Homo-oligomer: A and B are copies of this chain.
Amino acid sequence: MTIKVSDIGEKELIRYIIANSKHITPDDTAITQFSDTNLISTCDMLIQSRHFPDNMSYFNMGFKSVTVNVSDLAAMGAKPIGFLLAIAMPKDLDVDSFKEIIQGVLEACYFYSIPLIGGDTNEASEIIISGTALGVCENPLMKDTYGKGDLIAVTGDIGLAALGFELETLDNIYTNKALKPIARVKEGQILKDFATSATDITDGLASELYEIKKDNFGFMIYEDLLGISDEYKQICENLGLDYLDKIFHVGEDFELLFTISKDNLDTLAIDYKVIGEVTDSDVVELTLENGFVERIENRGYEHYVSE
């Protein structure tokens, strides 16, 4: 019996690609030197059955396809310069639905100030949107350039989308985040001159912490600082969910996770929340509300591998 891609998981597949290519920078995007700046480029594909909840509108599918790509530009502190769209759809899709998807793309491009510069259409059995985001940055912000003693921070509340995916109702802060997440492009561009590192949270806070972890460095996150509302805990309890699991291990937040020296905090002109610090413990830990410390598991959303 042969080994299938689902046996080894998405991260291993990506590792295979990286191991066989000398030119891939293992950061949020590619970086290509130009004479006076760097081209920042990234591409992400969204698959309807995987990435679009059943109650997501066609407009929001288009909007999200831009968001996921622009979020990687944000993580580098890049200024967006162009978006390319490749979209495949079933032949019996209503033309009006196609137009709604495109309107979602265009609205997002306008929102993020990233011109739509190219497009391609195809036929497939479900809606598949592959976007490429291009940006420029003289001094891109990498994801592992933090130092011991740096503070760890995020640009917004974590875990909202994760809870949103569990809810039937619409028009609440959780479902809104799940159906229409927002990339932190302006924040990223400000952060590049203040932060020591940054990445965007897509597969969950835990997953990203392990993604950026270097040998001999560790992270201590404080539950007290996460700002988890009583409402959040209550909804999770009602639904029989572990609220810390939702916050750490699902993702789709598209907030920026960044590190910053204490000295630079006062000058930072964006909304953010300090949630922990960089240590030399070599482990990734959480200090709970009750004072106990537990290891954060390296577990996030991953294609193929069932949790």
Chain A residues with a Cβ under 8 A of chain B: 2-8, 10, 13-14, 16-18, 20-25, 29-30, 32, 34-37, 39, 41-45, 47, 49-50, 81-82, 84-96, 98-99, 102-103, 106, 109, 115-126, 128, 130, 132, 134, 303-304
Q: Name 22 A/B residue pairs within 8 A (Cβ), A-sorted.
A: A3-B95, A3-B96, A4-B94, A5-B91, A5-B98, A16-B102, A17-B102, A17-B116, A21-B109, A22-B115, A25-B117, A30-B84, A32-B81, A39-B39, A41-B118, A41-B134, A44-B86, A45-B130, A50-B123, A122-B303, A125-B126, A128-B128
> Which of B24, B88, B121 is the one whose CB lies under 8 Å from A14?
B121
Given contacts A4-B93, A24-B116, contact A41 B121 (CB under 8 A): no
Given contacts A41-B117, A106-B21, contact A304 B84 (CB under 8 A): no
- Asked if A82 and B43 sit within 8 Å, CB to CB, the answer is no
Measured between beta carbons, the chain B residues less than 8 angstroms from A92 are 4-6
CB distance from A20 to the nearest CB of B (A): 6
Measured between beta carbons, the chain B residues less than 8 angstroms from A14 are 119-121
CB distance from A122 to the nearest CB of B (A): 5
Interchain CA distance A126-B47 in the complex, whole Å: 11
Interchain CA distance A93-B24 in the complex, whole Å: 24
- Asked if B41 and A94 sit within 8 Å, CB to CB, the answer is no
- Asked if B7 and A119 sit within 8 Å, CB to CB, the answer is no
Q: Which residue of B lies closest to A33 (CB)?
A: B81
Measured between beta carbons, the chain B residues less than 8 angstroms from A7 are 95
Measured between beta carbons, the chain B residues less than 8 angstroms from A29 are 118
- Asked if B303 and A117 sit within 8 Å, CB to CB, the answer is no
Given contacts A24-B117, A84-B30, A106-B20, contact A4 B95 (CB under 8 A): yes
- Asked if B20 and A102 sit within 8 Å, CB to CB, the answer is yes
- Asked if B118 and A303 sit within 8 Å, CB to CB, the answer is no
Q: Which residue of B lies closest to A130 (CB)?
A: B130
Q: Which residue of B lies closest to A3 (CB)?
A: B95
Measured between beta carbons, the chain B residues less than 8 angstroms from A45 are 86-88, 120, 122, 128, 130
Interchain CA distance A94-B25 in the complex, whole Å: 27
Measured between beta carbons, the chain B residues less than 8 angstroms from A25 are 117
